Structure 1
């Protein structure tokens, strides 16, 4: 299996990402690396995600996420590092 965002092979840990946020009734999920999943949620609010970035193609076209994909593509499938909120530049806590 591969990550639906960065297209690298999935590692040991895999997370399910809702293409439409659950708060907006989303049920369909796609597999993602934990770091890829975190990046989406630190770069976009659920409302932004719902309005304009609820497809894989749209997400991959987002400037900040595209830059992240270019960087993470060179990493091992199980690589993980804290993901920073693009607005505050602080590490976002896990929920």
Structure 2
């Protein structure tokens, strides 16, 4: 008889910051549903809030799944660098961008 090995659960990484997700996974539409988006990607809630605070639905529709363009935005880059060493279930209030 073989002993069962402890097989770790597969780790799901956040689409934006690439950190492992925690207990809560938000399934985000890179192209907003209101703009015809159907695909979803796993994200932390705080990462989704950051995208919503920094981009309009039109901008998100145009950028789609171009993660490099999203990360090129100075505010998003600053956020991703800041959150990089936080725990998977870390949360905080994200300030809305002034438009």
TM-score (norm 2): 0.82
1:12-47 deviation line (CA, Å, top 9, x unaligned)? 001011121111110000000000000000011111
Unaligned segments of structure 1, at least 5 residues? 89-95
Q: How far, CA to CA, are the matches of 1:19 and 1:69 in structure 2?
A: 17
- Which aligned segments of 4 or more residues in structure 1 are displaced greater than 2 angstroms? none
Residue of structure 1 equivalent to 2:84: 73
Residue of structure 2 equivalent to 1:48: 59
Unaligned segments of structure 2, at least 5 residues? 1-11
Q: How far, CA to CA, are the matches of 1:14 and 1:57 in structure 2?
A: 22
Q: How far, CA to CA, are the matches of 2:55 and 2:35 in structure 1?
A: 15
What's the RMSD between the two structures over aligned residues?
1.2
Residue of structure 2 equivalent to 1:91: none
Q: How far, CA to CA, are the matches of 1:64 and 1:81 in structure 2?
A: 16
How many residues align structurally?
87
Rg larger in structure? 2
Please report how far the alpha carbon of residue 70 of structure 1 lies from its aligned counterpart in structure 2 after TM superposition. 0.2
Residue of structure 2 equivalent to 1:10: 21
